[in-house]
């Protein structure tokens, strides 16, 4: 499992090491919000298009070679980004982020598929909690190291440092990860796939993962903007964002263990995580450092609760021979949130201010679970509802 943990760390560090410093390095915050949102969304936009394809490829040829190829591609894209500084052209920065996103599209769903394949169903909560823990360490160190490297040598040094762990993890995975060869599969039509992806068993955890990713991406990308507007530098704002990731790192293994031990159900856990994440975005609208820190803690707690529960639910409900396809499709939902969250906040902020952007996304995330809770409450109080089992509670 250790190379898989390292792969999760690499993708998180790559995504957030750059994202967390872009906003704090902005000279004209208000005028650049839409550009910042687009640049943050570019990495995730590549993943939106490619993750389902690489997930299906992992089922066809095996998850291990797809993961290793993605790590090699990530290292190459990071190393090539030096051209951004040499040519002094923003186009190279956009190309580097696009290349990193395309490479992450290969190794992220493949690593998730291997976590599911190499662990029994009874331990999926712990397995995904541990995987998420190390991924969150990447989120934690990404803003901190990103701010420090940006201060020492700018984006050229930052991208160069990102190339090293990706290359090392690729070699480690080649030597240590079991082959996990593809399993025999029944023929699947497009209609079969559509039915499976339209099933609430898939849709509910995927929607929750997408909402959590939207909150996480906005927190990493825009809390530094709020910090810069309040007069804090890139290292200070990077440290504040790291509180978000550190909280998620602490919560994820605990949530996964509680799920496996029966102390937490998927429906209640996802609902709680969504409401906590929405509350964190509401706190982000409060000016000053207290609002930023409280937002970071709540967003981290909410996403840390949702992530292992969502992936464990998907892994348990999916045939092993289709696990790559399911993880790739679920990652598509996550990336839509990852890309859509910053774009929504940026668009609203450009017209009405960043605080309003935070509030709008908070309302979108909270709407689903609040409606579900209201419906469940009406069902319990309706005539003849007494004694009717309520099951798992409202899912996201």
pLDDT tens for residues 279-304?
Answer: 999 998 888 788 888 999 999 999 99
Classify residue 90 as left (phi > 0), alpha (psi -120 to 50) or beta.
Answer: alpha
What is the C-alpha to C-alpha distance for residues 375 and 356, in angstroms, rounded to an integer?
28
Are 83 and 54 in contact by the 8 Å Cβ rule? The answer is no
Low-confidence winner among 29-38, 74-83, 87-96, 214-223 (lowest mean pLDDT) = 29-38
pLDDT for 227 equals: 82
What is the C-alpha to C-alpha distance for residues 237 and 283, in angstroms, rounded to an integer?
16
pLDDT for 263 equals: 93
pLDDT for 84 equals: 57
What is the C-alpha to C-alpha distance for residues 109 and 53, in angstroms, rounded to an integer?
10
What is the C-alpha to C-alpha distance for residues 379 and 350, in angstroms, rounded to an integer?
41
What proportion of the chain, given as a percentage, has pLDDT over 70?
79
Distances (CA, A) of 212 to 26, 57, 355: 26, 26, 19
Please give the residue that has the higher pLDDT: either 73 or 96: 73
N-to-C CA span, the chain: 29
Locus of tokens 């090293």 = 164
Which residues have CB under 8 Å from 52's CB, separation 6+?
325, 328, 329, 331, 332
> Any alpha helices (H) in the chain, and if so which ranges?
2-22, 29-61, 63-80, 82-87, 90-117, 124-176, 190-198, 200-229, 234-260, 266-284, 289-317, 323-352, 354-381
Distances (CA, A) of 286 to 232, 341, 355, 361, 367: 16, 19, 7, 15, 21
Distances (CA, A) of 359 to 172, 246, 285, 333: 43, 23, 7, 22
Is the predicted pLDDT of residue 27 greater than 80, yes or no?
no
User: How does residue 166 score in pLDDT terms, banded at 50, 70 and 90?
Assistant: confident
Distances (CA, A) of 211 to 13, 66, 302, 304, 337: 20, 27, 10, 12, 6
Please compute the mean of the pLDDT values over residues 26-55 and round it to a whole number.
Answer: 67
Please compute the mean of the pLDDT values over residues 223-227 and round it to a whole number.
Answer: 84
User: How does residue 393 score in pLDDT terms, banded at 50, 70 and 90?
Assistant: very low
Check residue 363 and report its DSSP letter.
Answer: H
Please give the residue that has the higher pLDDT: either 154 or 26: 154
């Amino acid at each position: 499992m250790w190379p898989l943990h390292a792969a999760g760390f690499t993708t998180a560090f790559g995504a957030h090491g750059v994202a967390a410093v872009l906003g704090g390095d902005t000279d004209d915050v208000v005028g650049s919000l839409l550009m910042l949102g687009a640049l943050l969304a570019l990495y995730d936009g590549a993943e939106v298009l490619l993750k389902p394809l690489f997930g299906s490829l992992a089922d066809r040829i095996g998850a291990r070679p797809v993961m290793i190829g993605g790590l090699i591609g990530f290292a190459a894209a990071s190393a090539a980004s030096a051209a951004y500084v040499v040519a002094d052209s923003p186009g190279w920065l956009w190309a580097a982020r696009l290349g990193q996103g395309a490479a992450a599209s290969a190794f992220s769903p493949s690593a998730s598929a291997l976590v599911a394949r190499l662990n029994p169903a009874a331990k999926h909560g712990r397995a995904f909690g541990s995987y998420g823990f190390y991924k969150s360490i990447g989120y934690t160190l990404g803003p901190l190291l990103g701010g420090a490297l940006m201060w020492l040598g700018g984006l050229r040094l930052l991208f160069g440092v990102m190339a090293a762990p990706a290359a090392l993890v690729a070699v480690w995975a080649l030597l240590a990860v079991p082959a996990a060869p593809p399993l025999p599969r029944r023929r699947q039509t497009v209609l079969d796939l559509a039915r499976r992806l339209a099933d609430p068993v898939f849709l509910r955890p995927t929607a929750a993962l997408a909402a959590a990713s939207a909150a996480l991406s906005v927190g990493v990308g825009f809390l530094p903007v709020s910090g810069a507007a309040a007069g804090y530098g890139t290292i200070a704002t990077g440290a504040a964002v790291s509180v978000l990731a550190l909280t998620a790192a602490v919560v994820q293994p605990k949530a996964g263990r509680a799920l496996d031990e029966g102390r937490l159900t998927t429906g209640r856990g996802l609902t709680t995580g969504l409401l906590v994440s929405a509350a964190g975005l509401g706190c982000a609208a409060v000016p000053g450092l207290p609002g930023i820190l409280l937002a970071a803690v709540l967003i981290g707690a909410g996403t840390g609760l949702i992530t292992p529960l969502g992936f464990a639910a998907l892994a348990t409900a999916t045939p092993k021979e289709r696990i790559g396809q399911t993880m790739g499709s679920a990652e598509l939902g996550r990336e839509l949130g990852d890309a859509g969250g910053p774009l929504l906040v940026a668009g609203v902020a450009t017209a009405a201010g960043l605080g309003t952007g935070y509030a709008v996304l908070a309302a979108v995330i909270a709407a689903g679970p609040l409606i579900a809770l209201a419906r469940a409450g009406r069902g319990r109080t309706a005539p003849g509802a007494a004694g009717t089992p309520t099951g798992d509670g409202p899912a996201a």
